[in-house]
Amino acid sequence: MILGVSGFVKGDWKNIDERVMDKVASLGFKTLQIRISDPFSTTLKDIEKIKTLYKKFDFYMPQTVGNYGGNLISENKDLREKDIIFLKRMIDITNELESPNTYLRPGSHNINGAWKPHKNNYNEKTWDTLIESTKFVCDYAEKKDVMIAVEGGVACPVNSPKKVKDLFEKVDSKNLGLNMDPVNFIKDLDTAYKNTDLINEFYHLIPHNIIGCHAKDFKIIEGLLPHFEETIIGSEESMLDNDSLLKGLSKINPDAHVLIEHLADDDIPKALAGLNNVAKRNKIIWDD
173-229 per-position pLDDT tens digit: 999 999 999 999 999 999 999 999 999 999 999 999 999 999 999 999 999 999 999
Mean pLDDT of 89-113: 98
Summary mean pLDDT of the chain: 98
CB-based contacts of 116: which residues, under 8 Å, 6+ apart? 108, 110, 155
Strands, DSSP E only, in the chain?
2-5, 31-32, 34-36, 64-66, 101-104, 147-150, 176-180, 210-215, 217-221, 227-231, 257-260
Measured between alpha carbons, how far is 269 from 272 in angstroms, rounded to an integer?
5
Q: For strands 217-221 and 34-36, give the pairing.
A: unpaired
pLDDT at 93 over 90: yes
CATH level 2 (architecture), domain 2-281: Alpha-Beta Barrel (3.20)
Q: Residue range 257-275: average pLDDT?
A: 97
Q: What is the mean pLDDT of residues 26-48?
A: 97
Mean pLDDT of 129-148: 99
What confidence score (pLDDT) does residue 45 get? 97
**What is the rounded distance in angstroms from the CA atom of residue 251 to the CA atom of residue 122?**
32
pLDDT band at 28 (very low <50, low <70, confident <90, very high): very high
The pTM of the full predicted model, rounded to 2 decimals, is 0.95
Determine the Cα–Cα distance for residues 130 and 83; give it in Å rounded to an integer: 12
Cβ 264 vs Cβ 9: under 8 Å: no
Q: Kindly state the percentage of the chain with pLDDT values over 90.
A: 98
Q: Write out the H or E segment, with its range, that includes residue 161.
A: helix 161-171
**pLDDT at position 11, please?**
86
Question: If you average pLDDT over residues 255-275, what whole number do you get?
Answer: 97
Query: From CA 61, how far away is CA 50, in angstroms rounded?
Result: 9
**Helix orientation angle between 242-252 and 268-281, rounded to the nearest 10 degrees:** 70
Instruction: Supply the DSSP symbol for 262.
Output: S
Going from N- to C-terminal start, the domains of the chain cover 2-281
Percentage above 70 pLDDT, the chain: 100
The DSSP symbol for 61 reads P
Give helix then strand counts, H and E, for the chain.
9, 11
Q: What pLDDT score does 9 carry?
A: 95
DSSP 208-245: TSEEEEEE-EEEEE-SSS-EEEEE-TTSTT----HHHH
Band of residue 254 on the pLDDT scale cut at 50, 70, 90: very high
Distance CA 177, CA 284 (A): 23
The mean pLDDT of 150-173, rounded to a whole number, is 98
Instruction: Compute how many other C-beta atoms are within 10 angstroms of the C-beta atom of residue 194.
Output: 11
How do residues 39-86 score in pLDDT, each as one tens digit?
999 999 999 999 999 999 999 999 999 999 999 999 999 999 999 999
